[in-house]
A and B are shown apart, each in its own frame.
Chain A
């Protein structure tokens, strides 16, 4: 599964808008993840996960920055996220099922923040993009 030219164009142009609120989008996606899928909190016993916490905002910004890196290197996402991929495989070891959950919450966040842009084609492009990012991050698991 790879992105078409048209899909890359959609991602790049929407990222232009999203990047102005990237931290808020990353943070809200995490809030949604922890609210809808409380089991995901087990990976963050060391965090204050209350909405608005500094931990959440910092981590949300990190997630957004990583997505930004993937967008900037959209033709080589595996290269751009190679270190992050290793970290997830050897250190974090987040169960692969959770990438789908966070991807869904990112999609919901984008849909609610950018209604005019979230057409059916954009929905497809983002779903595919996040799928690819998830694949890259779990690529080295075994």
Chain B
């Protein structure tokens, strides 16, 4: 068995196929900046982040969220080797972006909340459990090359 059981892979891919990655990306990044305002420290150049409405409507936030989630989505295609898939991005986040890996865990959990929000009862405990494994794996992979 790899990182996920066959059943978990089915649950994850089944739901992910229905996700509008661009939209969910903007939503997740926006909510990260609203709910955990200290994360705004990485986005000083993004313009108006003064209120929830400003953040959720901010075009730079949406664009960046889209980028982040497309990258996450690509990673899902390599679910059994997340460390390999995210090696370069891990180095980038450490050496150039100087992002505390705790932020990856925060964003992962915000993403889970956004999926629950969008999919309602379909995002049941078993689906959530599979996604918690995925977001934990991605966060860990992104932190793996830190030094």
Contacts and interface: CB of A to CB of B under 8 A. Distances in A.
B55 to A, nearest CB: 7
Contacts of A113: 120
The dominant DSSP class at the B interface is: helix
Contacts of B31: 120, 123
Interface in B98-121: 109, 112-114, 116-121
B63 interface: no
A105 to B, nearest CB: 8
Contacts of A36: 125, 128-129, 132
A115 interface: yes
Interface string A24-52: 00001001101111000000000000010
B146 interface: no
Contact of B125 (A31, A119, A124): A31
A112 B123 contact: yes
Nearest to B113: A111
A95 interface: no
B116 A104 contact: no
A75 interface: no
A118 interface: yes
B117 to A, nearest CB: 4
A31 B126 CA distance: 9
Interface of A: 28, 31-32, 34-37, 51, 104-105, 107-109, 111-113, 115, 118-121, 123-124, 127
